[in-house]
Structure 1
Amino acid sequence: MPKTTEKPATPATGRGKGGKNRRADILRAAGTLMAAKGYDATSMRDISASVGMLPGSVYYHFPSKEALFVELHKDVVQAMTARVREAVEGVSDPWERLRLSARAHLEGLTQNDNLVAIVSPQFIRDQTEVAKVVTDHRREYEQIFRDIFAALDLPEGTDATILRLGLFGSLNWVPVWYEPDGPRQPAEISDQFVAVLKNAYAPRDSGQN
């Protein structure tokens, strides 16, 4: 993994000063700043200032900005994965699993102060080595949706990958125009996207609306 150009004042030694809570504070601050400013525009000095720490104290917990981002990315993806898995637990119908997973995905996107923006493949497109690492984080999450689409009874010749990526594209674009106080809530929006797919691709005797 590439090294940051900023030099640590104190060597990293695991959990470090301040314990687990300070580490969590740093991750939260980094996520907020990076979601707002972007990865490249956020420095370790910015992060340390936002939590009232010296830069060397931040380096005590994380040896580089890259290492910090990798852990932050892992935490966000794990939270999203847990949210979706909980939403579909005990549900066997593939179309209902798709509706609930899409709803959980979009609610996660709109309820975390844009923190999930950092899991976009485009967020660190210029950081090649870091991108390779965080791609593995997303694999388990994306596999949930691959499995759901694979279980759908789609018409012969339908490309499930295109449908899945199209749905993700639609859902991931919502935070750009979504208004928290507007007339449309995330659950309604995601349900509508899935309803369009179901009406177009589900067998006519499947009980769709």
Structure 2
Amino acid sequence: MTDERSAYDEKLESILRTAARIFAEKGYHQASIRDIARATGVSLSGLYYYFNSKEELLFLIQDHAFGTLLDNLERNLANVEEPHRRLRILVENHLRYFIDAKAEMKVLSHESESLTGDFRRRVNDKKRRLSETAMEILREIRPGGGIDLRVATFSLFGMMNWLYNWHRPGADVPVETLVEDMYRIFLHGYLPDGATVPASADEGAAGEPQPIWRTA
């Protein structure tokens, strides 16, 4: 029974990965189950052994991605108390998973509103757990406040979730450098240690609108 279940899970995971690629390329609403069948080499009736509808397939992709991300994060955070270390683990967990699952990341980003009813609620529950974990870590790092937690949390995820749109394996930095750079930029900013922002850099933000193109 265990071997049968393992084979089922492996096949389903393979279908989900291929379906995520098709949805990422064509868009959920434009892609068809026949597209998935051709790409997987599984018949239509064979696919419907694993799910009942295209929306359920989209749900399974999102649920599996967020579930895997959360399970890995909770395991890696176990027994780690120091908040800066916990943030580093969260960033590394997120980037290491999605560096190899960019199609899934694109589907999660572009098709977040395509689920309805219980499917949407169940995925949103996992998304909420992930964001609440990040918020709690950031609250511990900056207990005095001063920066809105939602702004900080979703700025962090926005930075990480854009990865699928620009990172090129083999051309851009390896995942180890990516993790370290994003962690440092988020936590410390882009300026080198000890640097200050020149007064002139702040003037354009609060004063008169500055032209984008300068002719002189």
Q: Same fold (TM over 0.5)?
A: yes
Change (3 A) 1:173 1:37: same
Contact kept in structure 1, 2:62 and 2:104, CA below 8 Å: no
State the 1:45 CA deviation.
0.9
Name the counterpart of 2:82.
93
Q: Distance in 2 between matches of 1:168 and 1:40?
A: 25
Paired-residue identity, %: 23
Change (3 A) 1:64 1:147: same
State the 1:175 CA deviation.
2.6
SS of 1:146 mapped into structure 2: helix
Q: How many matched pairs?
A: 183
Q: Say which one has the larger Rg.
A: 2
Name the counterpart of 1:176.
165
Mapped pair 1:104 → 2:93: yes
Contact kept in structure 2, 1:29 and 1:51, CA below 8 Å: yes
Root-mean-square deviation (CA), in Å? 2.6
Mapped pair 1:79 → 2:68: yes
Contact kept in structure 1, 2:102 and 2:164, CA below 8 Å: no
Change (3 A) 1:186 1:154: farther
**5+ unaligned residues in a row in structure 1: which ranges?**
1-14, 201-209
Mapped pair 1:123 → 2:111: yes
Contact kept in structure 2, 1:98 and 1:145, CA below 8 Å: yes
Name the counterpart of 1:191.
180
Mapped pair 1:40 → 2:39: no
Q: TM-score, normalised by structure 2?
A: 0.72
Mapped pair 1:62 → 2:54: no
State the 1:59 CA deviation.
2.2
Q: Distance in 1 between matches of 2:32 and 2:74?
A: 34
State the 1:182 CA deviation.
2.9
Change (3 A) 1:25 1:103: closer
Contact kept in structure 2, 1:171 and 1:190, CA below 8 Å: no
Q: Distance in 2 between matches of 1:104 and 1:72?
A: 18
Contact kept in structure 2, 1:77 and 1:138, CA below 8 Å: yes
State the 1:48 CA deviation.
1.5
Q: Distance in 2 between matches of 1:24 and 1:161?
A: 33
**5+ unaligned residues in a row in structure 2: which ranges?**
190-216
Contact kept in structure 1, 2:28 and 2:111, CA below 8 Å: yes
Per-residue displacement from partner, 1:98-132 (whole Å, max 9, x unpaired)? 11211211121212243232222x32435554544
Q: Structure 2 counterpart of 1:110, which letter?
A: I
Q: Distance in 1 between matches of 2:146 and 2:44?
A: 56
Change (3 A) 1:25 1:189: closer
Contact kept in structure 2, 1:77 and 1:119, CA below 8 Å: no
Larger helix proportion of the pair: 2
Q: Distance in 2 between matches of 1:81 and 1:75?
A: 10
Contact kept in structure 2, 1:88 and 1:100, CA below 8 Å: yes
State the 1:176 CA deviation.
1.6
State the 1:166 CA deviation.
0.8
Change (3 A) 1:24 1:97: closer
